[in-house]
A and B are shown apart, each in its own frame.
Chain A
Amino acid sequence: MKRQVFTCRYKELGNIRTRFSPLKSRVQSREEGLTHYEKKKYVWKMLYIYMLGYDVDFGHMEAVSLISAPKYPEKQVGYIVTSCLLNENHDFLRLAINTVRNDIIGRNETFQCLALTLVGNIGGREFAESLAPDVQKLLISSSCRPLVRKKAALCLLRLFRKNPDVVNIDGWSDRMAQLLDERDFGVLTSSMSLLVALVSNNHDAYWNCLPKCVKILERLARNQDVPPEYTYYGIPSPWLQVKTLRALQYFPTVEDPNTRRSLFENNASHAVLFEALALVMHLDAEKEMMSQCVALLGKFIAVREPNIRYLGLENMTRMLMVTEVQDIIKRHQAQIITSLKDPDISIRRRALDLLYGMCDVSNAKDIVEELLQYLSTADFAMREELSLKAAILAEKFAPDLSWYVDVILQLIDKAGDFVSDDIWFRVVQFVTNNEDLQPYAALKAREYLDKPAIHETMVKVSAYILGEYSHLLARGPACSPKEIFSIIHEKLPTVSTSTIPILLSTYAKILMHTQPPDQELQHQIWAIFSKYESCIDAEIQQRAVEYHALSMKGAALMDILAEMPKFPERQSSLIRKAENTEADTAEQSAAKLRAQQQASNALVVTDQRPANGTLPVNQLGLVKVPIMSNADQIIAEQGVTHENGALTVVDPQPQLPSTPSPDLLEDLLGPLAIEGPSGTGPQSEPRVASGFERGENADALAIAPVEEQANTVQPIGSIAERFHALCLKDSGVLYEDPYIQIGIKAEWRAHHGRYVIFLGNKNTAPLSSVQASILPPSHLNTELSLVPETIPPRAQVQCPLEVINLRPSRDLAVLDFSYKFGTQVVNVKLRLPAVFNKFLQPITVSAEEFFPQWRSLSGPPLKLQEVVRGVRPMPIAELANLLNSLRLMVCPGLDPNANNLIASTTFYSESTRAMLCLIRIETDPADRTQLRMTVASGDPTLTFELKEFIKEQIVYIPVPPQSPAPMPPQARPTSPPTAISDPGALLAGLL
């Protein structure tokens, strides 16, 4: 097959060659003797060869000369081929100017059209100079047909763009105004394009066109005085409206535009609407109009259609420029935050920009906390930007300093890899400069060190802060110098060479603060110093030698190693960095806004006095307006982000098992958070958004099935996310909406499981007709105890659920749950996290146990091997963590190769009883997206299921959109019965 294609291609090439050369020679040699008919034939062939993708560098002359042919067929070919093959810079075109001019001023309409089209497509400066007056004459002449005048308008537009001087302003503005009275919409639309270009160049001269534009809009929008062929899906000529509004924007502020309309049929009317919004923004209209606009945008960002959401967010970011509407925009904060979880990465970016732009002292706390929470689920492409922005916002708008320290430490904890050094340097600066903060920071640092696995950056900050200020904690529990030393020293073997110098300084400082000196500690630290005195890294070696020598000096040590002096105040390097990275237009406006705002002074108030002789240079500086970086840089950036975007898309699962979603458990076991709407009006509460959607899709809803209507109660948080979190732990919230919260708690013993389901009513009114049932898969035996019919107000009911695992399978049990609140029936189906790994019991095997077992299970079906591709790239330690969290015990040291992992576990079910499973994963350090996995156990089904299960966990799985009620993507109520409006069906019969 492949060969056939190849030979075919080869033949084609040969074929072309054989035709090509005689053609070329004939065209070139017999130039004089060719008749028009022959020329036409050859020129057509040439065009065809050109279209196949070959360079045609001859015969241009013939094409141009055909233009002057007297008959239509030849002339047409001449025009078409010329406009295809040549561009405006081509010298041959000059030869044609006169012929083209003759056609334009001639009386033959068809020729006029051909000529105008050519000029409109490839006309250059020279054309502009010699043809503009003639084209103008054609445009305003009353004897021409609209078809010709339409083309003349576009042609003039082209000429004007090439050379703005060709249109004589004095005489032309009156003519232009007359043109706008035109009844024919084709001519009107073309003239409007022309007007937009003219006005953008010089608006003063065209004042007299302004009333006409308003009149056109009125005619379109109010009176709907439009011929049917210019009505697009029921909207009167949307493009003309857009253009007219655009033209109006070029005039300076004059009047109240009463052109705002609220049609919500489809893209076309949205386009009009956005243009109108831009106009309102441009006119800087009064507040009421602005708040209407924001409200409208608020509706946009809640609709399903991604394009509209994107534009809504972008326009809102632009709106931020207008200071008085910021408060109104803040009302939509919750919706914007949910946009952060949108499946479309470009929308997520816009939402992040908008949040960044709208943040100020009043909402900084909420927004930054939201960003921090989002950080653990955000995709890699966005994490760096996200953490940088969170850090900047925390710095600029911190209500108090301890909060700032909290935020940054959390940031480092959650996204250590993406936190640049600048961020932690900044924290250290603040702590050093604010004495009140020092004990608090030291305490926090101490707490973070207790965590089992912390990021290296965190080790750096903690070690630095504790080195400086741990003596302030001396009276606290477990904070004696010795304990602090030992906890920091524990981290030493795991850190890289860049961190070791910091740790050495910390040891020296601890030693200095220990008064009276503790002999044992001193000896320990000296031992470390002398060990590193022979280190290969110069920095470490130098420090070790110096500290060792210094610490021998006894009391003099106090002076030399005194506390660090305060840092001079200077512009945050973070903010400077942010300036450099900002290039996007939307971001730019947000950044401009930043520049106007006052920075919070919380961070600088405490340090007004000169410290250690150095005067504060300036306060936390204001941000400069960033300079638009050049286009190449943009595309470079784009390229990079796209690449990342393609690799990692949405992944709502927590990336690291060590960062559980916070406080789920607390929510559950603590008193119920009663924030739901009071029991009076459940109907009025559900979000504006869903109401809006329903309005838009009125037709769609009428035929929608019943559940869709019932599901107007929106769950709080993502169900899928909660489910994934619960797969890795045993208690938490499974589902929450404004009325009810469902939590679960599980215990597992071998193949038996026991769930307790907590049903909590969040309202002051009872929930009635409560029903719950389990739809078990074939491998699970489940028994749910009776669920009460009603749940009293603000009460929590517990229902035990027994689960017995019969045999290995990855199927899931489903909890079918329904209740009634007021008149609303809510029915949800939730996956129960009684997943495969819950029946695993981690077990450690030694080398003596492992190898005989591994060898005895040889070959399929007991031992299966597979190369898995498309793995989420992660370092080997993270992979090990993931396996551990799935209850697959990683046994280090069994495999001599550090890139391989061996894990073991026991699986329990009624059919297999306890069964040992062994897993070996070989990774490729060069390509993290693929690995080879070998799974062995004593049961063929178990081996297969376990292998598939692990694969599901490590392979990246695209996530479907999370909105619960599937709406038809575009409801076009007026769509004709044929399939014309359906884009997919249009080109259905394809190759």
Chain B
Amino acid sequence: MIRFILLQNRQGKTRLAKYYIPLEESEKHKVEYEFLLLKMEFSNLSTQVSEEFSPRVTFRTHKVIYRRYAGLFFSLCVDITDNELAYLESIHLFVEILDHFFSNVCELDLVFNFHKAIIERMGELEKQD
């Protein structure tokens, strides 16, 4: 089960967030910050080696599946027993859908048309879970 979805850019701004579990605002900020640190650490390690590299980290009792598209990290927090690759691919599917929707999507689209993105995301990612 997907616990939450985060889109963050490299400066640490959260561009989209969707929580399927009840969290307080402060908890959300904390989670977002921790996520960013995790990813930064891993991407620092790996930029020299390959673009997307070991996109799986254990986070508390869950698993984080993430993938980087240019400057944006798409991450899903899922149960520890879930199938990693299936979720990794669903991230890609989501990006493809965004791409269709905005025709050649970029980070600015998400910033300026956030209301569209919300609807979009709710419809599509739910289908996966």
Contact = CB atoms under 8 A, between A and B. Distances in A.
B48 A268 contact: no
Interface stretch (A19-27, A340-348, A492-500, A824-832): A340-348
Given A242-B83, A275-B83, A232 B107 contact: no
A986 B99 contact: yes
Given A307-B54, A344-B53, A642-B41, A121 B83 contact: no
A961 B38 contact: no
A94 to B, nearest CB: 15
Interface string A267-279: 1101100110000
Contact of B96 (A55, A310, A980): A980
A89 B53 contact: no
A246 B82 CA distance: 9
Nearest to A642: B41
Interface in A602-646: 631, 634-635, 638, 642, 645-646
Given A84-B118, A87-B23, A311-B85, A991 B71 contact: yes
B25 A55 contact: yes
A984 interface: yes
Interface in B1-51: 1, 9, 19-20, 22-23, 25, 38, 41-42, 44-46, 48-51
B120 interface: no
A638 B122 CA distance: 32
Contacts of B1: 161
Contacts of B127: 150, 154, 186, 189-190
Contacts of B71: 987, 990-991
A960 B49 CA distance: 6
B122 A246 contact: no
Given A345-B45, A986-B69, A232 B51 contact: no
B113 interface: no
A88 interface: yes
Nearest to A235: B89
A238 B89 contact: yes
A232 B89 contact: yes
B83 A306 contact: no
Contact of B70 (A150, A267, A631, A984): A984
B41 to A, nearest CB: 5
Contacts of B119: 80
A274 B107 contact: no
A686 to B, nearest CB: 24
A646 B39 CA distance: 12
A903 to B, nearest CB: 31
B101 interface: no
Interface in B92-125: 92-93, 95-96, 99, 104-108, 114-115, 118-119, 122-123
A382 interface: no
A242 B80 CA distance: 16
A452 interface: no
Given A645-B45, A646-B45, A983 B90 contact: no
Contact of A120 (B53, B95, B126, B128): B126
A991 B126 contact: no
A271 B70 contact: no
Contact of B50 (A120, A161, A306, A311): A306
Contacts of A88: 22
A154 B9 CA distance: 30
Contacts of B123: 117
A635 B85 contact: no
A307 B61 CA distance: 20
Nearest to A970: B52
Contacts of A987: 69-72, 95, 105-107
B60 A631 contact: yes
A267 B105 contact: no
Q: Which of B23, B49, B99 has the largest number of chain A CB atoms within 10 A?
A: B49
Nearest to A268: B89
B48 to A, nearest CB: 4
Contacts of B51: 969, 983-984
A960 B50 CA distance: 9
Given A190-B127, A980-B99, A958 B48 contact: yes
Contact of B93 (A151, A232, A306, A991): A232
B86 A242 contact: yes
Contact of A988 (B46, B90, B106): B106
A251 interface: no
B72 A634 contact: no
A325 to B, nearest CB: 22
A239 B128 contact: yes
Contacts of B22: 87-89, 122
A987 B107 CA distance: 7
Contact of B107 (A189, A307, A990): A990
Nearest to B87: A271
Nearest to B100: A980
A977 B55 CA distance: 27
B95 A986 contact: yes
A983 B106 contact: no
A154 B54 contact: no
Nearest to A55: B25
B61 A239 contact: no
A186 B88 CA distance: 20
B23 to A, nearest CB: 7
A585 interface: yes
A879 B55 CA distance: 36
Contact of A986 (B19, B20, B46, B105): B105
A986 B70 contact: yes
Interface in A426-485: none
A193 interface: yes
B78 to A, nearest CB: 13
A238 B46 CA distance: 28
B38 A642 contact: yes
Contacts of A990: 70-72, 106-108
Contacts of A645: 41, 45
Contacts of A80: 115, 118-119
A670 interface: no
B46 to A, nearest CB: 7
B129 A154 contact: yes
A649 interface: yes
Interface string A331-355: 0000000000001111100000000
Interface centre among B41, B84, B93 (most CB of A within 10 A): B84
A989 interface: yes
B126 A271 contact: no
A268 B91 CA distance: 11
A638 B44 CA distance: 17
27 contacts: A80-B119, A84-B118, A87-B19, A87-B23, A117-B123, A121-B122, A161-B1, A186-B127, A232-B93, A267-B92, A270-B85, A271-B86, A274-B85, A306-B50, A310-B54, A631-B60, A638-B57, A646-B41, A960-B48, A983-B69, A984-B69, A984-B70, A986-B69, A986-B70, A987-B70, A987-B95, A990-B72
Which 3 residue pairs of A and B lie closest in terms of their CB atoms, listed nearest first? A271-B85, A87-B22, A987-B70
Interface of A: 51, 55, 80, 83-84, 87-89, 117, 120-122, 150-151, 154, 161, 186, 189-190, 193, 232, 238-239, 242, 246, 266-268, 270-271, 274-275, 306-307, 310-311, 343-347, 585, 631, 634-635, 638, 642, 645-646, 649, 958, 960-961, 969, 980, 983-984, 986-991
